[in-house]
Amino acid sequence: MVSAENLNGMVEELDSAFPGIGRRIVDDQGRIRTYVNVFVNSENSRALENEKTRLKDGDVVHILPSIAGG
């Protein structure tokens, strides 16, 4: 449960609670990493406003690694 107003804030809150998780989700500039997908209520945040996507009470966020690699 987080109280942030957008995904950026959510990542910061998560990183305070679980140090090191933030840099796994976003890069040095706070952009969601290429092979990480963040869904807000099942909608990919890339189709919304990326890391600036706003959050409201009751929203459900999934953070999932994408299909990639070799």
* Spatial separation of the C-alpha atoms in residues 69 and 57, rounded to whole Å: 35
Is 54 a binding residue for other proteins by CB under 8 A? The answer is no
1 vs 17 by CB, closer to other proteins: 17
Residue 61: beta bridge partners?
40
- Radius of gyration from C-alpha coordinates of the chain: 11
Question: For residues 22 and 24, what is the distance between their CA atoms, to the nearest angstrom?
Answer: 5
- Determine, following the binding rule CB under 8 A, whether residue 36 of this chain makes contact with other proteins: yes
The amino acid present at 52, given as its one-letter code, is: K
69 is a site residue for other proteins (CB under 8 A): yes
Choose which of 4, 33, 48, 50 interacts with other proteins (CB under 8 A): 33
Instruction: State the residues that interact with other proteins by CB under 8 A.
Output: 19-20, 23-24, 27-31, 33, 35-36, 65-66, 68-69
